[in-house]
């Protein structure tokens, strides 16, 4: 991180002597924003308990801002993306896992410990028994992430002997999506199921938060054309009609840059 900032300093100097005023870091995990501490990062456990902001400030001399990656993505989408001009939005990131960010009255809702908006760990199937990395079962993440799409495809494949996916050596959410576009019944069924589970999760969020907009991003959103219909149908069936009619459900617009943009915005706030 320190060397990346040093590189930015060189670029800033070359570009008319622009000055760096702060360093902003986003981490995939729970962070204490006020104290600049990484509380728990399951995929970067070496950082657990690390006073990251303090270390960066002492080594670089800039003030330093720390945020959770999905929260930063939500801020990015509100600032420059699909949620522009709105103040009550929920951002859902469908990637390897399922992340979330909640903005209420124009501000991130972080919860009392900085761990709010774990949308991927909302239970959407109490009887299915699919274990989640969080220790619970039946979480949205085990039905709507890229990992889940691959797992569900493998599980369902014996029922679809004619699927082109049997010949695929390396199943990924992308190859399954491509097969679905070509009309492969197995792929279509998996994206339909994914859309149903996602829609159940969104209906719960809509009834609890009454957001203006739900922004869906992450790599899996590329499968939108195959899952959106079932997702919307579940929202219409399960959410309060008034709230379901009000909320706009849209694809994210900032792509992989949402977190970067949000980090920049948060440093300037
Ligand atoms: Zn979970």
Name the strand (E) or helix (H) holding 41: none
Residues in a beta bridge with 92: 100, 216
Ligand 1 ion local residues (Cβ < 5 A): 121, 132, 134, 136, 139
Rounded CA separation 146/123 (Å) = 18
Q: How many CB atoms lie within 10 A of CB 122?
A: 19
Centroid of ligand 1 to alpha carbon of 133 (angstroms): 6
pTM (2 d.p.): 0.92
Residue 181: which residues within 8 A CB-CB, separation 6 or more? Answer: 225, 226
Centroid of ligand 1 to alpha carbon of 135 (angstroms): 6
Residues in a beta bridge with 63: 22
Centroid of ligand 1 to alpha carbon of 74 (angstroms): 20
Instruction: Name which of 118, 163, 174 is nearest 141 in CA terms.
Output: 118
Centroid of ligand 1 to alpha carbon of 153 (angstroms): 20
Could you give the angle at the alpha carbon of 141 between the alpha carbons of 53 and 177, nearest 5°?
A: 115
Per-residue confidence in pLDDT tens, the chain, 269 aa: 888 888 888 888 888 777 888 999 999 889 999 999 999 988 888 999 999 999 999 999 999 999 999 999 999 999 999 999 999 999 999 999 999 999 999 999 999 888 899 999 999 999 978 999 889 999 999 999 999 999 999 999 999 999 999 988 789 999 999 999 999 999 999 999 999 999 999 999 999 999 999 999 999 999 999 999 999 999 999 999 999 999 999 999 999 899 999 999 999 87
Centroid of ligand 1 to alpha carbon of 78 (angstroms): 26
The SS3 of residue 156 is: helix
Looking at the chain, how many residues does it have? 269
């Amino acid at each position: 991180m320190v060397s990346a900032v040093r590189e930015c300093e060189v670029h800033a100097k070359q570009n008319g002597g622009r000055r760096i005023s702060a360093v902003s870091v986003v981490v995939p995990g729970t962070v204490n924003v006020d104290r600049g501490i990484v509380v728990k990062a399951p995929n970067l456990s070496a950082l657990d308990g690390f006073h990251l902001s303090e270390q960066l400030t002492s080594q670089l001399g800039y003030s330093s801002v720390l945020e959770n990656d999905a929260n930063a993505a939500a801020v990015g989408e509100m600032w420059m993306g699909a949620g522009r001009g709105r103040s009550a939005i929920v951002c859902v990131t469908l990637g390897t896992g399922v992340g979330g960010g909640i903005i209420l009255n124009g501000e991130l809702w972080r919860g009392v410990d900085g761990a709010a908006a774990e949308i991927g760990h909302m239970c959407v199937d109490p009887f299915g028994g699919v274990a989640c990395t969080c220790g619970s079962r039946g979480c949205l993440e085990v039905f709507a992430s890229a990992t889940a799409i691959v797992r569900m495809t493998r599980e369902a494949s014996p029922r679809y002997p004619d699927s082109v996916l049997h010949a695929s050596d390396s199943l990924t959410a992308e190859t399954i999506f491509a097969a679905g576009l070509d009309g492969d019944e197995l792929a279509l069924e998996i994206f339909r199921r994914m859309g149903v589970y996602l829609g159940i999760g969104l209906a719960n969020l809509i009834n609890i938060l009454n957001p203006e907009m739900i922004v869906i991003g992450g790599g899996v959103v590329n499968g939108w054309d195959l899952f959106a219909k079932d997702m919307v149908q579940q929202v219409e069936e399960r959410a309060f009609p008034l709230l379901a009619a009000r909320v706009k459900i849209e694809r994210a617009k900032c792509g992989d840059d949402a977190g970067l943009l949000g980090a920049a915005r948060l440093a300037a706030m």
